[in-house]
Amino acid sequence: MHLEFRNVSYSYNGVQDVLTNVSFSIDNSDIFCLSGRNGAGKSTLLKLLTKINCNYTGDILLDGKELRRWKREEVNGKIGICFQESECIWIQL
């Protein structure tokens, strides 16, 4: 599976961005470490990825298909997320 974020931005209040133009890509065999200070937007990014929060701008591509076109159940069948107390979240695709 291939995951790509292309210039993804997200705001909870429509005024201030929590994520601004985030871009990265992960391939199936990659182990990707997402780290940052408290409030940097790690959980928010994962909530976009799992379609809990949806009104982002930019593109999130799963296997080349925009996340908006995937059903949440389909995404949940492909991606498992384990939230941890530490400041580092691992995503394995």
Ligand X SMILES: Nc1ncnc2c1ncn2[C@@H]1O[C@H](COP(=O)(O)OP(=O)(O)OP(=O)(O)O)[C@@H](O)[C@H]1O
Select from 11, 43, 50, 53 the one that contacts Mg ion (CB under 5 A). Answer: 43
Q: Which CB atom, from 3 or from 49, has the smaller least distance to ligand X?
A: 49
CB of 81 to ligand X, least distance (A): 12
Q: Please list the residues that pair with 87 across neighbouring strands.
A: none
CB of 87 to ligand X, least distance (A): 5
Q: Which CB atom, from 29 or from 38, has the smaller least distance to ligand X?
A: 38
Q: Which CB atom, from 36 or from 80, has the smaller least distance to ligand X?
A: 36
Q: How many Cα atoms occupy the beta-carbon half-sphere of 59 within 13 Å?
A: 11
CB of 43 to ligand X, least distance (A): 3
Size of residue set near Mg ion by CB under 5 A: 2
Residue 75 φ/ψ, nearest 5 degrees:
-65, -45
Burial 40-77 (b: 16+ CB within 10 A, else e): ebbbbbbbbbebebeebebebbbeeeebeebeeeeeee
